[in-house]
Amino acid sequence: MTTSREDLLHAGLAPDTLTVAAGRPPREHDAPVNAPIVLSTTYHETRAPVQGDRVYARGSNPTWDPFEEALGALEGAGLPALVFGSGLGAAAAALSLVPTGGAVVMPRHAYAGSLSLAADLAAQGRFELRTVDVADTAGVIEELSALAARFDAGQVMLWLESPTNPMLEVAELAVLTEAAHATGAIVVADNTFNTPIVHRPLASGVDVVLHSVTKWLAGHSDVVLGALVTTDPALRERLLAHRTLHGAIAGPFEVWLALRGLRTLALRMERSQATAASLAHRLVDHPGVRRVRYPGLPSDPGHARAASQFDGFGGIVSIELDDVETADALVASVRLWLPATSLGGVESLIERRRRQPAEPKTVPEALVRLSVGIENPEDLWADLDKALRHASGRYPTNTTTGTTDTTEVPAR
């Protein structure tokens, strides 16, 4: 008996089950439980190549198949995903769907790499780029309507990211997708922050879902990969052709590591989200914090939308401090949190985002993004609280001795 991708897709399995069950080898006697790594650049040919033959590793690799099947099943695509050598490589393939002379509507706050790539292509004359506040539904629809008056169907792309990076704004995905389709636009949604555990944008009608696999999906800060998922076979063929011709392919070992990481995605997301929520609620009352951005907070502008659309609120928290000096001092003062860019690994990372030259200027200078890992929540809080008080000049006072406590929090 074998367990095929089709069996899993139609078995009604929950996403957390699919992370473990999807993309397994056939259930045959003496077959391996885990998919093996295939390290080969070319394949035996016993006849003239036909559609679907591997032929050469730039077009296909047996190690990609299990990961692509698993991610496609997780997103509810009915088709395997396409893995790319990086998230930006996947973004480039997605943007290739816009015909020359077309237009792209993109959130003003989004992954800086996607924004930079789109801006570069726009500067080359590939398409027009319009940036919008993706949380302003009426404003986005107005922009789409204005473009529809100038462009034919299929010439415009709406690029969604929800929550946005790093401002954590929440878009009305289904509403915006329906409005975009009504104007003939194609819709791409970056689901890196949520992952399929929290949200599956294809169910909202989105045409293509993008992932930086580097982040939550792989989950261990040791691979650089991207992926695209679609329910449309014709779109998938176009994206596959772009990957093959432009060479944005992934190494077999990296994809094998990503599949290994995917197996624990549900558990990691469960822990990260629970800790993120706990930290966010504590940070709201912290004297060293001016504002907390986290969709899980009832006071957050995106809370109602997130609660109605998502199965959770994610593992990213952004905080705004008094000024740049305080924000930099916070990042320099932590001992357990790791000062580094990127996100979604098992370790908790902290970064003042405007340190990155490509970050949009509308992101506050003193905004610090927290990527919450799977460490003990109390250890993370103790380290963060102490660093915040140090950075803002608010040291805790020892109630027994009356002295200021400036001891370091040990990192376990």
Of 121, 116, 274, give the one whose Cα is nearest residue 197: 274
Alpha-carbon gap, residue 91 to 212, rounded angstroms? 9
Q: What is the 3-class SS of 348-366, one letter each residue?
A: CEEEEHHHCCCCCCCCCCC
Q: Which of 36, 39, 41, 31 is nearest to 3 (CA)?
A: 31
Q: How far apart are alpha carbons 396 and 403 in whole angstroms?
A: 9
Q: Has 383 been annotated as catalytic? A: no
Question: 24, 130, 200, 215: which one is catalytic?
Answer: 215
Q: CA quadruple 380, 17, 189, 219: dihedral positive or negative?
A: positive
Cβ(68)–Cβ(80) below 8 Å: yes
**From the candidates 5, 65, 111, 305, which is the catalytic residue?**
111
Of these residues, 16, 56, 58, 290, which one is catalytic? 58
Closest CA to 63 of 93, 28, 91, 25: 25
- For 120, counting Cβ atoms within 10 Å of its Cβ (0-12 exposed, 13-18 middle, 19+ buried), the class is exposed
Q: Given 65, 190, 207, 385, which residue is catalytic?
A: 190
Is 386 one of the annotated active-site residues of the chain?
Answer: no
10 Å Cβ neighbour count for 402?
7
The CA-CA-CA angle for residues 124, 104, 175, to 5°, reads 175
Active site residue 200: no
Structure tokens given for 321:
């401090």
Structure tokens at 154: 């299929």
Residue 344's nearest CA partner among 135, 174, 198, 158 is: 198
Nearest to 13 by CA among 27, 26, 24: 24
6 alpha-carbon distance from chain centroid: 26
Eight-class DSSP state of 201: G
Concerning whether 395 is annotated as a catalytic residue, the answer is no
Residues annotated as catalytic (active site), given as ranges: 58, 111, 190, 215
